């Protein structure tokens, strides 16, 4: 891992699980800072805002700034403003998600939106799902913040957004536009955040189909950690070979 311009570091399953910090993760960040290597935390979890993640990481002992955090919500807002300028959305998301996108200037329309915007919605109801379905069969666009099937917790995993994407696609014939990892857009945004060349960046994460896939598709290096979803056996048949595989982030830069 020579000539690294910056590290993109996943959160859930990589530096913590639920509310439990993974041993050695804060020390890994301190090693990056000591070597003056830029880094950004990159998460697909769109249930919470950047401020929430900053507060969570700070309480866990990470000495960082809010500029060190990039979420799929941030990426989705950027995408909407650039590629769907002026269009309205019907959000399926938490109150925190809705607050963040509205504060970013995205307009919500609950009667006749242009887009059904699907996030990790831990408050989802039948009414919201049915409203979204009705909009989609009338021709509205489906956009999702990320594709993850599961969200790591301290006790295992919770259902994430992936099954809901497949539900809406199968019920309506729509194909979702998915913004978060593995979309290379996240690599570009992370490079801009750190003001570094994307060619020299390294992705650190626990998922093959998002973290490692994004690195492979973007032509950058990757480090798979085994503290989250992926196991060594999962690499067989995946078609993806990480640059390195380690037990945890605590082994990096030792």
Q: What is the pLDDT along the chain (254 residues), one digit of tens a residue?
A: 789 999 999 998 999 998 999 999 999 999 999 999 999 999 998 999 999 999 999 999 999 999 999 999 999 998 999 999 999 999 999 999 999 999 999 999 999 999 999 999 999 999 999 999 999 999 999 999 999 998 878 788 899 999 999 999 999 999 999 999 999 989 999 999 999 999 999 999 999 999 999 999 999 999 999 999 899 999 998 999 999 999 999 999 98
Tell me which residue of 62, 51, 54, 36 sits closest to 249, measured CA to CA: 62
- Rounded Cα gap, residues 228 and 245, in angstroms: 13
Q: How far apart are CA 209 and CA 199, in angstroms?
A: 20
Task: Give pLDDT, residue 154.
Answer: 78
Are 91 and 119 spatial neighbours (Cβ–Cβ below 8 Å)? yes
Same domain flag for 107 and 135: yes
Cα angle vertex 204, ends 239, 93, to 5°? 90
137, 160, 178 - which closes a domain: 178
| pTM metric for this prediction | 0.84
Domain assignment of residue 80, yes or no: no
pLDDT at 2: 84
Using left for φ > 0, alpha for ψ between -120 and 50, and beta otherwise, residue 112 falls in beta
Assess contact for 75 and 95: CB atoms under 8 A: no
Q: Is residue 138 part of a domain?
A: yes
On whether both 22 and 62 belong to a single domain, the answer is yes
Q: Verify that 115 and 172 share a domain, yes or no.
A: yes
**What total of structural domains would you count in the chain?**
2
Domain shared by 149 and 191, yes or no? no
Instruction: Indicate whether 234 belongs to any domain.
Output: yes
Note the pLDDT of residue 31: 97
| pLDDT at residue 152 in the model | 78
Q: Report whether 31 contacts 228 (CB < 8 A).
A: no
If you search the block for the tokens 């594709």, which residue do you land on? 147
Rounded Cα distance between 113 and 197, Å, is 38
Q: Which of 178, 209, 226 is the last residue of a domain?
A: 178
Q: What is the pLDDT of residue 64?
A: 97
Q: Give the domain extent around 170.
A: 85-178
User: Would you say residue 39 lies in a domain?
Assistant: yes
Q: Are 69 and 40 in contact (CB under 8 A)?
A: yes
User: What gap in Å lies between CA 94 and CA 235, rounded to an integer?
Assistant: 33
Q: How many CA atoms lie within 13 A of 167 on its CB side?
A: 13
Structural domain includes residue 108: yes
134 and 189 housed in the same domain: no
Report the pLDDT value the prediction gives residue 1, as an integer from 0 to 100: 73
Same domain membership, residue 154 and residue 201: no
Q: Is residue 1 part of a domain?
A: no
Give the side-chain half-sphere CA count within 13 A for 107: 10
Please indicate, yes or no, whether residues 194 and 210 belong to a single structural domain of this protein.
yes
Same domain, residue pair 68 and 194: yes
Contact predicate 221/203, CB 8 Å: yes
79 within domain boundaries: no
């Amino acid at each position: 891992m020579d000539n690294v311009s910056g590290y993109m570091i996943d959160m859930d399953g990589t530096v913590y699980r639920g509310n439990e910090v993974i041993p050695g993760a804060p020390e890994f960040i301190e090693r990056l800072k000591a070597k003056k290597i830029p880094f950004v935390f990159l998460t697909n979890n769109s249930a919470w805002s950047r401020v929430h993640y900053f507060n969570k990481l700070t309480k866990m002992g990470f000495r960082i700034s809010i500029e060190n955090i990039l979420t799929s919500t941030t990426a989705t807002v950027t995408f909407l403003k650039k590629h769907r300028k002026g269009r309205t959305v019907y959000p399926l998301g938490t109150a925190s998600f809705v607050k963040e996108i509205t504060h970013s200037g995205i307009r919500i329309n609950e009667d006749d939106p242009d887009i059904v915007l699907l996030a990790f919605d831990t408050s989802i109801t039948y009414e919201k799902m049915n409203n979204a379905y009705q909009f989609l069969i009338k021709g509205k666009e489906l956009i999702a913040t990320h594709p993850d099937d599961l969200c790591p917790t301290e006790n295992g995993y919770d259902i994430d957004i992936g099954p809901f994407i497949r539900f809406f696609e199968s019920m309506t014939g729509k194909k979702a536009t998915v913004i978060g990892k593995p979309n290379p857009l996240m690599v570009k945004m992370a490079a801009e955040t750190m003001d570094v060349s994307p060619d020299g960046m390294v992705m650190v994460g626990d998922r093959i189909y998002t973290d490692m896939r994004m690195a492979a598709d973007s032509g950058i290096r990757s480090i798979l950690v085994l503290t989250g979803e992926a196991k060594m056996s999962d690499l067989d048949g995946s078609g993806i070979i990480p640059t390195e595989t380690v037990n945890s982030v605590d082994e990096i830069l030792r």
